[in-house]
Structure 1
Amino acid sequence: MAIKKLGKQTVKLENPPSIVSTASIVGSKEGQGPLKDKFDIILDDDLWGEDSWEKAESKMLENAVKLAIDKGNLSPDEIDYMFGGDLLNQIISASFAARQLSIPFFGLYGACSTMTESLSLASMIIDGGYADHCIATTSSHFAAAERQFRFPLEMGSQRAPSAQWTATASGAALLSKEGDGPYITHVTTGKVIDFGIKDSNNMGAAMAPSAADTILRHFKDTGLQPKDYDLIITGDLGEVGKDLAIKLLKENNLDISSNFTDCGVEIFDIKNQDVGSGASGCGCSASVFCGHFYSLLKSGELNKILILSTGALMSPTSTLQGESIPGIAHAVAIQRRL
């Protein structure tokens, strides 16, 4: 019998791990947005001295991990496991960074949901007594993602208003069995949900049903209510997906509109930065949580949040074959004090 299981999809951690430190690195466009003062490093050059976008992204992830570990007064040798991934084929940003860091590595792919997937598994491993210290990390890069999933930048293709701007960003969180918080207390693992959306320029619509499903399941499993959280935060829905998620939840008699936000909306000034519906990408929720919401938890401005990174599980092959875009969302509950 799974003694820590609540309902169908949620785990209540018996020994909640502490998020000891975080680090965030973003590109120049993200560094011009409203959260510019929240990030550890803002790049002047999105190539960051490398000769490809992909190498620059891996360098961002590697350095975010190093910085988070350093902030936690540890060394890479003291980290039991690294959980991470990215959007690129064979998760090369994370795996090539892990090659440099020499930390035992679980490579994950949940598209843009990977940050909370990483936090989920790292916290469960620590709670289970299998590790003392873990790193959860993800990254994305606008130019690398465009080259793989849509069109090379050189084509100058026109973007639809519903399209999202893949964040050039990375975030890393150091979790430990000991610490003074904030703590991960619950994990709700999402299901793959597909409403038949095929437009890769409208990923918010593809991901919103999975976000709504996981939020509904979290509250059903735990018996909690939206008012029990200071904020409910999705990762990568943008304005279109955020509005759809609110609508879907209201249809299921759950209204979260008064304390709901989305990292894809927060990271850019959507009216003035020409980013369509907002941001997406593995690095979006990672950098916004590690750079912004973590600091609000540490300062006491927030006491309890539910954060869900949301992912569109498509590939260039599935898109060319006319497949629809499945979505997934994983949630972690984080509170400042136990």
Structure 2
Amino acid sequence: MPIRRGDTVIFPHPPVLAAWAAVGGKKESEGPLAQGFDELVQDAGFDAEGCTGWEQAESMLQQRCARHCLRKAGIAKQQVELAFAGDLQAQCTASNYTMRQLGVPFAGLYGACSTMAEALCLAALCAAAGYAHEILAMSSSHFCAAERQFRTPLEYGGKRTPTAQWTATAAGACLVRGSGAAGVPVLSATIGRVCDAGVKDINNMGAAMAPAAAQTLLHYFADTGTTQQDFDAIFTGDLGEVGSTLLHELMHKADCPVENHQDCGCLLYDVAAQNVQAGGSGAGCSAAVLAAHVLPGLVERRWRRVLFLSTGALMSQTTFLQGESIPGIAHCVELGCPEEEGNT
């Protein structure tokens, strides 16, 4: 049986990530992780697929990612028993339309950029409890769809601030199975709490999300009795350069430094060369980095035990225009090397 300690659920018999996939766009194809993607699309509008808008294009991106994941898992879409998915569009429409095509039981999620870790937490909990045996966890984002929803139309040509981040045109998906299957074990899951540091700048998501990342990490360490030294790497997503710096400051103040920290928003792009300001963001950013970089690294034994911590800024188009502050949240999953769990 799973063990609950504080905000963390520990799995003595871990569910596993049996297969995964990442699909990205042109910007992602020019980044340092391009080789890890299952597919890179140069036409972000998917014009050849008959898409007539950015929102449809994001759903197409997500559908392709799901197909790659299920193909690698060796199952048909009809065998998926449950899907957790989300995106940045209003009412998670990209995921809704993807599931219209897949036709599987679906619970839509909105955790902003934290959605992938949230989906993995819920999928792992359901798999460990035996509620479902073939569970799809997925999230996506699209630069063009997000920009016109949250900021200004691209045609406006507004100048981006140095603290701004580049919304990834990307999707990531994982197929979660119960214990005993082959794959990367999910050793624990921590559901985050909403944390509001009073940040109101829509162009500084890193500052809004970093306090939530620190809060979840501190809760996880307290719940499990671990420290950062117990992990080969701690991956956050997507704080970018500004939020990562702030996270280190917060953890030092808490007397809990994290020297082994890496951020998905800084890994997905070459920040110095790709004109992405403070780095990457979006619900597809950490999802794609997980599938293209983190999970392959565990399989290849580059790391043996890692934390994957996705962060999200929980505002809407309306609330930030009303002058509301931007709450943050961070969810965490602990992942292990397959070999250590006997899953080769």
Above 0.5 in TM-score? yes
Shift of 1:132: 0.7
SS at match of 1:300: coil
Contact 1:14–1:127 (CA<8 Å) still a contact in 2? no
Counterpart of 1:200 (choices 191, 199, 202) is: 202
Distance 1:322 1:76 in 2: 43
Deviations 1:178-225 (A, max 9, x none): 422210010111000001000010000000000000001000000011
Shift of 1:44: 1.0
Contact 2:2–2:9 (CA<8 Å) still a contact in 1? no
Distance 1:13 1:144 in 2: 37
Match of 1:80 in 2: 81
Q: Which range is displaced more, 75-84 or 116-125?
A: 75-84
Distance 1:3 1:267 in 2: 33
SS at match of 1:201: coil
Counterpart of 1:231 (choices 230, 233, 242) is: 233
Match of 2:193 in 1: 191
The one-letter amino acid of 1:246's match is H
Deviations 1:19-76 (A, max 9, x none): 1110100010111011111111111111122221111100111111111011011111
SS at match of 2:113: coil
Between the two proteins, the alignment pairs up a number of residues equal to 335
Superposed counterparts of 1:154-303, under 5 Å: 154-177=155-178, 178-257=180-259, 259-303=260-304
Contact 1:164–1:201 (CA<8 Å) still a contact in 2? yes
Distance 1:182 1:3 in 2: 17
Superposed counterparts of 1:1-338, under 5 Å: 4-6=3-5, 8-49=6-47, 50-177=51-178, 178-257=180-259, 259-336=260-337, 337-338=340-341
The one-letter amino acid of 1:226's match is Q
Shift of 1:104: 0.3
Distance 2:76 2:306 in 1: 29
Shift of 1:14: 3.3
Deviations 1:304-328 (A, max 9, x none): 1101110000111001110000000
Distance 2:42 2:109 in 1: 29
Distance 1:129 1:3 in 2: 11
SS at match of 2:296: helix
Contact 2:109–2:119 (CA<8 Å) still a contact in 1? yes
Distance 1:125 1:101 in 2: 20
The one-letter amino acid of 1:153's match is L
Distance 1:157 1:18 in 2: 44
4+ residue stretches of structure 1 with deviation over 4 A? none
Contact 2:3–2:9 (CA<8 Å) still a contact in 1? yes
Quick one: percent identity of the two aligned structures?
45
Deviations 1:228-275 (A, max 9, x none): 111000010000000100110110000112x11000000011011110
SS at match of 1:29: helix
SS at match of 1:57: helix
SS at match of 2:189: strand
Contact 1:235–1:263 (CA<8 Å) still a contact in 2? yes
The one-letter amino acid of 1:58's match is S
Distance 1:73 1:181 in 2: 13
- TM-score, structure 1 normalization: 0.98
Shift of 1:15: 2.6
Unaligned runs of 5+ in 2: none
The one-letter amino acid of 1:101's match is L
Distance 2:12 2:88 in 1: 32
The one-letter amino acid of 1:298's match is V
SS at match of 2:212: helix
SS at match of 1:113: helix
Distance 1:273 1:24 in 2: 20
The one-letter amino acid of 1:35's match is L
Contact 1:143–1:153 (CA<8 Å) still a contact in 2? yes
Shift of 1:3: 6.4
Shift of 1:151: 0.4
Distance 1:42 1:66 in 2: 14
SS at match of 2:127: helix
- TM-score, structure 2 normalization: 0.96
The one-letter amino acid of 1:186's match is S
Distance 2:38 2:167 in 1: 19
